[in-house]
Structure 1
Amino acid sequence: MKRVPLIPTLIVAAAVATMIALGVWQLSRAREKEALLLRYEAAANLPAVNWPSIPPADNKLPLFRKASAMCLQPVASKVIAGRNAQGESGYSHLVDCRTGAEGPGVRVDIGWSKDPRAGAQWKGGPVSGVIAPDSEHRMRLISATGLADLQASAPPSPADIPNNHRSYAMQWFLFAAAALIIYGLALRGRLAKAPE
């Protein structure tokens, strides 16, 4: 008698259900990311703000908004790969600043150069620019004008933030379909070989 194997069928069904759920979750994340990107695009037209004295929650970061800050004293610096406003590759010069006795301080992108040693003489002062994402400090202020004889770094753009959630959802749905097809073919072959 030809029977569908119970345990393998349940395992495949559970796996397919999980993949479909992950695909639906990715679609939900895509809608959330699209709303966030629209908010970031609108931020460019909002009035400038002062650099926050209290670290904001992750979902309240004022990214892509014009802002100003006062760097009272540079406390650390680093150089990373970056681009200038014309799209040339080179180095962006980041300076971590003390902004007062308390508060989060500010990381400032003081500008761009071809020379990684440039910009080392900057002593701080007022900075105006745009708030951008930062992998270490969550956000940084990219100066609208190059400081310390540097060119301005490329301004941040919400278009640089990936939104791959719809393609991830499609992958999960394709994985689920492939699992069903493969299991269906395996089941058909097994049932064809089974004695009557």
Structure 2
Amino acid sequence: MLRALSVTEARVPTKPLRRLRFRPSLAISLAAAAGIAASLALGAWQLGRAHEKEAMAARLESLSEEPAIALPVAEVSAEEVLWRRVSVRGRFEPRYAIFLDNQVRDGVAGYHVIMPLAISGGERYVLVNRGWIAGARERARLPSVRTPAGPVELSGLAVVPSQRFLELSTRVAEGQVWQNLTLERYRRAVPIALQPVLIQQQSPLDDGLTREWSPPDFGVNTHYAYAFQWFALALAILVFYLFAHVRRAA
């Protein structure tokens, strides 16, 4: 008769376990540490910028809700009134008006009407973005803008036109139609004394223009996205570094 196999005799032979070995070179370790540190620092910097922009947006929202301050005839510094509601009295000067091109609203192409206002009591002007108007069917014909002949009182937000734009052509202005606006460019084109800000008109006026202004975009979400990318890169460097240098010992 066949005898029964004992547990010891029936045991399946197994391979001895191998221990893991971690022996990276000094140069690679230093490079990985530098990459991780730099990525973390850049991610933290982007987070800091996002928090700064959020605080700035909150500050500007608070300023815009304060009572309007009167804009004087005497020249002010832009920092005094920037992002604040201002009020002013004067007369529009239509002959120096410009039409800011490529302003699309609800799928309709049009213009922003930029017109200087002669401040009452002096010879200084302030530029006013009076609002949006649809373009005419014929490109060569500008839309008609109703402008009060007498003095007006208006209020709005004091801003400085952005200078962050790309121009692919040297033909940036054709008569009254401009592609982009800066105060310096307007001063060179029109011989009048200007305040260093532009007013986005908010007060109503029977002129047929649309005045709905978007709040400034400070790019907060962009900073958060960049921060996530830098932190993800730091994690990727760490994972790759560990994976590439862990080996099974013989």
Q: TM-score, normalised by structure 1?
A: 0.70
Structure richer in helix, relative to its length: 1
SS state of the match for residue 19, structure 1?
helix
The residue identity in structure 2 corresponding to 1:135 is: S
Q: State the 1:157 CA deviation.
A: 2.4
Query: 1:65-121: CA deviations, max 9, x gaps?
Result: 32124467564624144466xx6754322235676667xx63321121111622568
2:46 is the alignment partner of 1:26: yes
Q: Where does 1:1-196 land on structure 2 (aligned, <5 Å)?
A: 3-51=23-71, 53-57=75-79, 62-63=82-83, 65-69=84-88, 70=90, 73=93, 75=96, 77-82=98-103, 89=108, 90-95=110-115, 106-115=126-135, 117-118=142-143, 126=152, 127-132=154-159, 134-136=161-163, 137=182, 140-145=198-203, 149-157=207-215, 160-164=217-221, 165-188=223-246, 191=247
- 8 Å CA contact 1:144–1:152 kept in 2: the answer is no
Q: CA deviation at 1:43?
A: 1.9
Compare relative contact order (CA 8 Å, sep 6+) and give the higher one, 1 or 2.
2
After TM superposition, give the deviation of residue 19 of structure 1 in Å. 1.0
Q: Percent identity?
A: 28
Per the TM alignment, residue 174 of structure 1 is displaced from its structure 2 partner at its CA by 0.9
Cα offset, 1:47, TM superposition: 1.1
Three-state SS of the structure 2 residue aligned to 1:112 is strand
- Backbone CA RMSD of aligned residues: 3.7
Contact 1:110 1:150 in 2 (8 A): no
Indicate how the Cα distance of structure 1 residues 71 and 135 shifts in structure 2: closer, same or farther if over 3 A, else same: farther
Equivalent pairs, count: 184
Greater C-alpha radius of gyration? 2
Does the CA-based 8 Å contact 2:132-2:210 persist in structure 1? yes
Task: Give me the TM-score of the superposition, normalised by structure 2.
Answer: 0.57
Deviation of the 1:122 alpha carbon: 5.3
Contact 2:86 2:155 survives alignment (8 Å): yes
Change (3 A) 1:131 1:83: farther
